[in-house]
Structure 1
Amino acid sequence: MSRLELRGIAKRYGAVDALAGADLTVPSGALLAVLGPSGCGKTTLLRCVAGFERLDAGEIAVDGRTVAGPGVHTPPERRHIVIVPQEGALFPHLSVRDNVGYGLSREERRSDRVEEVLTLVGLSGYGDRMPHHLSGGQQQRVAVARALAPRPSVILLDEPFSALDAALRTELRRDVRAALRADGATGILVTHDQGEALSVADQVAVMREGRVLQSGPAVEVYRAPADAWVAAFVGEAVFLRAGNGVRPVTGGTALSTALGPITVAELPGGTGDLTVMVRPEQIRVTTASAGPAVTATAIGHDFHGHDATVTLHLADGTRITARVPGHAVPVTVGATVGVQVEGVCRAWRDRA
């Protein structure tokens, strides 16, 4: 297991700052998912860590050993860092066993390492098969096994599940995560899928315009985003202006909003206007006769199977979205319902 540190790394392509002073730390044995919109620098970050690109500034260290920095550029083959691309890129003329053992020494190939990693990725007994006899998901499993085989310091996964259908993607990413954990591998997963990042990674980093805006445990990034942009990018969010009513309550401070009193864990300092973020699943929809603090008009209901989203108009004209269980009785469009916010929310102040 190895600790990976990125300190202020920068990479420019002409006038474009692909990376503009990005900082990241991946603890030993952890999997960190990097999220961000297209062009934010995710792939460039991976290429710099792998050694395919030279840094213009900053430093990359593995277990305290600098592999990239001022006057230092360790070539890719000496970094002991491997990458799994979107497509497995297997050698079509080699068997599964030979693909997995390709980067191993002759002695290592004679050991049980190839079978060990094939078992980790759920392909025990597949060693003699050829790549064209495998499904897309199985080929990706072989690619992960090949990356794990030489016991790299760091494994990089560049959207390895994006070409697979939803059900297979869910199964594969769960099994791959288990394989990485069983082998003690330190990894970075680049993905555009927020759900994938939150469900599979130990930590999540959110990038924008070449910088890391926030990095931390997945639950922390989701529940306590650094700012409104991160909140909206990592999941869905409802933003409400807070009025002048502020009072202390158990577990935080209650703010007056169009959705009634909302508890925030911490009241931000400063003098600017307050904005409160509510996740849609925190909004409870009830019958109007249940006596809630606030009523709303349902203007839309979208069923997704495991859950449903209800679009609501509040009395002041604010439009919000609530997420309710899929088994709940569908809300009739045009009906008046009650709405309440459950749990603790997040608040920010606008700059004065």
Structure 2
Amino acid sequence: MSEVVLTGVVKRYGPVTALDGVDLTVPAGALTAVLGPSGCGKTTLLRCLAGFERLDAGAIRVDGREVAGPGRHMPAHRRRIAVVPQEGALFPHLTVAANISYGLDRADRRGDRVDEVLALVGLAGYGDRMPHQLSGGQQQRVAVARALAPRPSLVLLDEPFSALDAGLRAGLRHDVREALRADGATAVLVTHDQGEALSVADRVVVLRSGRVVQSAAPGTLYREPADQWVAGFVGDAVLLPAVASAGAARTPLGTLPIAGPTTDGPVTVLVRPEQLRLAPASGTDAVTATVLRHDFHGHDALVALRLADDTRVTARVWDSTDPVEVGAEVAVRVDGTVRAWPATPVPAPAAAADPRPVHPVA
């Protein structure tokens, strides 16, 4: 298991700064997801870790060994870092076993490492098959097995499930996570899919404009986002204008208790859709709303609402067997505390920084 530490990493492409002083620690044996919008620097970060790009400043250490730094650039083939690209990039003329053993030394090729990693990814007995005989999901499993086979210091996964169907993607990413854990691998997953990052990673790093905005466990990131941009980017969010005073915020949904420190005055409040509770409208002082839309998702439903002051909010309803009628009036209340930040403009995502593809390390 190898800890990876990035210190002040800067990477520029002409006038564009793709990474702007990135400080990041990837814990040994953990899966860390790097999440962010297009152009935030995710792929550039992966390329710098892999050794495909030289740093303009800063340093990268893998298991205490400096692989990039001032005046130093260890070539990609010497870093013991494996990359799983978006599409498996298997050699079409080689069997599954030959694809996996391609980067192994002679001793490991004669041993049982190939069978071991095939079992880890759920493909025991598939060694004699050719890539064209496999489904897309199976090919990605082989790509992960090939990455794990030489026991690399670090495994980099570049949106490896993005080309797969949604149903297949969900199951495969959890199987791959279990394979990485069983092999004790340290891994970095680059993704733009918030659900993917939150569901499989031990730690999630959010990038914006080439900088780390927040690095935390998935639950902490969701419940305690660093700012309103992260709140809106990670999961569904209801962001409301409010005025804070004495630990509470006056909002269109009523006066709500604030969790964590805040200053009095104008703020932006975060309410997650699952905090909103709906009930039949009554003559009490409850906040009322009109139902605009009811989107059924099977396990739950999202209900779009318009408050009396024309504010739009969304509630997540878990018992969705009896849908709320569009046009009906309902009472709305907020369950629990809210987060709040001083009212400031939300920054826009940066322009795309590096369109070049990532290639696997042999």
**Could you tell me the TM-score, scaled by structure 1's length?**
0.94
CA contact (8 A) 1:35 1:204 kept: yes
Within the alignment, does 1:316 sit opposite 2:309 as a pair? yes
Q: Secondary structure at the match of 2:313?
A: strand
Measure, in 2, the Cα distance between the counterparts of 1:113 and 1:346: 49
How many Å apart are 1:293 and its aligned residue?
2.8
Within the alignment, does 1:173 sit opposite 2:173 as a pair? yes
How many Å apart are 1:241 and its aligned residue?
2.3
How many Å apart are 1:41 and its aligned residue?
0.6
2:60 aligned partner, one-letter code: I
Greater Cα offset, 78-87 or 272-281: 272-281
Q: Secondary structure at the match of 2:99?
A: helix
CA contact (8 A) 1:81 1:152 kept: yes
Cα deviations by residue, 1:111-160 (Å, 9 ceiling, x for unpaired): 11111110000000101111111111000000000000011110000000
Q: Secondary structure at the match of 2:243?
A: coil
The residue number in structure 2 matching 1:335 is 328
How many Å apart are 1:328 and its aligned residue?
3.9
Structure 2 unaligned residues grouped into runs of 5+: 346-362
The residue number in structure 2 matching 1:46 is 46
Measure, in 1, the Cα distance between the counterparts of 2:253 and 2:142: 51
Greater Cα offset, 99-108 or 322-331: 322-331
How many Å apart are 1:350 and its aligned residue?
2.9
Measure, in 1, the Cα distance between the counterparts of 2:126 and 2:284: 62
The residue number in structure 2 matching 1:237 is 237
The residue number in structure 1 matching 2:356 is none
CA contact (8 A) 1:264 1:345 kept: yes
1:273 aligned partner, one-letter code: P
Measure, in 2, the Cα distance between the counterparts of 1:328 and 1:243: 37
1:132 aligned partner, one-letter code: H
Greater Cα offset, 48-57 or 203-212: 203-212
The residue number in structure 2 matching 1:118 is 118
Cα deviations by residue, 1:184-219 (Å, 9 ceiling, x for unpaired): 101110111110110011111111111111111011
The residue number in structure 2 matching 1:250 is none
CA contact (8 A) 2:154 2:185 kept: yes
The residue number in structure 1 matching 2:223 is 223
Q: Which has the higher contact order (CA 8 A, sep 6+)?
A: 2
Within the alignment, does 1:207 sit opposite 2:207 as a pair? yes
CA contact (8 A) 1:303 1:326 kept: no
The residue number in structure 2 matching 1:295 is 288
Measure, in 1, the Cα distance between the counterparts of 2:336 and 2:344: 26
Q: Secondary structure at the match of 2:33?
A: strand
CA contact (8 A) 1:294 1:338 kept: yes
The equivalent position to 1:262 in structure 2, one of 245, 256, 266, is 256
Superposed, 1:1-352 pairs within 5 Å as: 1-243=1-243, 246-247=245-246, 253-269=247-263, 272-289=265-282, 293-325=286-318, 327-350=320-343
How many Å apart are 1:180 and its aligned residue?
0.3
CA contact (8 A) 1:291 1:338 kept: no
Greater Cα offset, 27-36 or 315-324: 315-324
Q: In percent, how many aligned pairs have the same letter?
A: 67
Q: Secondary structure at the match of 1:242?
A: strand
How many Å apart are 1:272 and its aligned residue?
4.6
1:268 aligned partner, one-letter code: T
1:25 aligned partner, one-letter code: T
Measure, in 1, the Cα distance between the counterparts of 2:309 and 2:129: 64
How many Å apart are 1:343 and its aligned residue?
2.2
2:17 aligned partner, one-letter code: D
Measure, in 2, the Cα distance between the counterparts of 1:290 and 1:173: 49
CA contact (8 A) 1:95 1:127 kept: yes
How many Å apart are 1:304 and its aligned residue?
2.1
Measure, in 2, the Cα distance between the counterparts of 1:110 and 1:326: 56
Q: Classify 1:121/1:292 alpha carbon distance in 2 versus 1 (closer, same or farther; 3 Å).
A: farther
2:2 aligned partner, one-letter code: S
Q: Secondary structure at the match of 2:61?
A: strand
| Runs of at least 4 residues off by over 2 Å | 241-244, 253-256, 289-293
CA contact (8 A) 1:304 1:326 kept: no
CA contact (8 A) 1:288 1:337 kept: yes
